[in-house]
Amino acid sequence: MEIPTNVLLIFLGSILTFWGTWLVESWKNKQDRNDKAQNFKLLAKQELKIVVNILDNLKTTLEHKNYYDINTRNRLSASKFALESYRKDAIYLSNQDLQEKFIDIVSTISDYYAKIDSLQNLFWGERRILREKARVEPTSTLASSEKKVEVEPTESIFKSEEDLTRFFNETKLQYSIEHAELKREIEELIKELDK
């Protein structure tokens, strides 16, 4: 049984149409993926550069004022959340090592932020407790119109403000080392994203 030429031509046209459509869609998907990768790189680089500037500001404030500034910590927190939202888009990077490095850096930034924030909050809280304890007698009586209420000052985990300051300075020194390492890693990642 012989197949008519028209049917063969229709069949060949269908195969060519299918193949051409597949090529066009593959090319569009590849272009779309490349565009998403380029957008991710641009956004990630810009946010990482902001983090580097924030880290510089933290270091400067710490050196001149001897504390981590709340506004700078809040800016670091905002950048940390922005980078965490970009984490899901790291899949658009073609290099798996680069994906892992980006995710690791974001985690390290989050850890560093949590450390400095808790250290500064601990310092201010404990210093307030120690100063209140120095002002108030161990047990004081507050008189209300008819009631007497005994108030005990909250206990601090530090014996004195000097102990607290020593702890803060030692921990701050340790975090300064982590700060330098984090900044170096971020700058390396920015260079890799530029490639």
- Answer with the residue of higher pLDDT: 159 or 109: 109
The two tokens of residue 152 are 């005990």
Judge contact between 83 and 51, C-beta under 8 A.
Answer: yes
Strands (E), 17-146: 140-143
pLDDT at 137 over 80: no
The pLDDT, as a whole number, for residue 132 is 86
- The whole-number pLDDT of residue 77 equals 94
Query: What Cα–Cα distance (Å) separates residue 62 from each residue in 45, 69, 146, 172, 174?
Result: 26, 8, 49, 9, 13
If one compares 135 and 112, the residue with the highest pLDDT of the two is: 112
Is residue 47 within 8 Å of residue 86, measured between CB atoms?
yes
- pTM for this predicted structure: 0.77
111-144 residues labelled b (16+ CB within 10 A) or e (exposed): ebbeebbebbebbeebbebbeebeeeeeeeeeee
- Tell me the per-residue pLDDT of 24-51, one tens digit each, with 9 for 90 and over: 999 999 899 889 889 999 999 999 999 9
> Residue 161 pLDDT more than 80?
yes
SS3 155: coil
Q: What does the angle CA 181 – CA 78 – CA 53 come to, to the nearest 5 degrees?
A: 45
How confident is the model over 138-153, as pLDDT tens digits? 555 555 555 555 555 5
Give the DSSP H or E segment for 136.
none
Residue 11 banded pLDDT, cuts 50, 70, 90: confident
pLDDT at 190 over 60: yes
Integer-rounded Cα Rg, in Å, for the chain is 30
Is the model's pLDDT at 5 over the cut of 90?
Answer: no
Residue 163: per-residue pLDDT:
92
pLDDT in tens, 64-119: 888 888 999 999 999 999 999 998 888 888 889 999 999 999 999 999 999 999 99
